Amino acid sequence: MLAITRAAIDLAALENRRSGDGGVVTFAGVVRDTAEGGRSVVGLSYEAFEPMAIAEFERIAAEARERFGDLEVTIVHRIGELNAGDVAVAVVAAAPHRDAAFEACRYCIDELKRRAPIWKKERYADGQEHWKANAARG
């Protein structure tokens, strides 16, 4: 599954595994209540260019399979208004062996953060907001 959603992300539902998978690694990116520098955060707003983001997820998953072998990859990113504590992004990598699952999961989240056209705005407790820089180009 590769998806952009406005619904809450159910981590357990994403942890599909095949009978031969001995390693399933799940990464959940959770909205923190404190920004870099210690500023109090009440939530985030995410926006995405959805067709391009899904295409990038597909490329990232294919690259992970090329690099790490037989994998089942799930990438789901939430958009819209999220509160502190909400899951914003989930990556699940399932593989016959744990090393491949760990490496693939890390590769996918790192590449997603670097390449996907997804933007976030922090909402602070003092009522101010700030768009965060995004490395995605395109």
CATH of the domain at 9: 3.90.1170.40
The segments of the chain whose pLDDT lies below 70 read: 135-138
- Does 99 map to a domain? yes
DSSP state of 34: B
Q: From the centroid of its chain, how far is CA 21?
A: 21
Q: What is the domain range of residue 111? A: 2-126
- pLDDT tens, 18-33? 889 999 999 999 999 9
- Does 116 map to a domain? yes
- Does 132 map to a domain? no
CA distance 54 to 76: 9
Cβ 20 vs Cβ 71: under 8 Å: no
- Does 131 map to a domain? no
Provide the Cα torsion 121, 134, 113, 56; round to 10°: 110
DSSP state of 37: T
Q: Which two tokens stand for residue 90?
A: 């989930």
- Does 36 map to a domain? yes
- pLDDT tens, 99-110? 999 999 999 999
- Does 65 map to a domain? yes
Strand order in 87-95's β-sheet? 2-5, 72-78, 87-95, 23-30
User: What pLDDT does 138 receive?
Assistant: 45
CA distance 77 to 42: 19
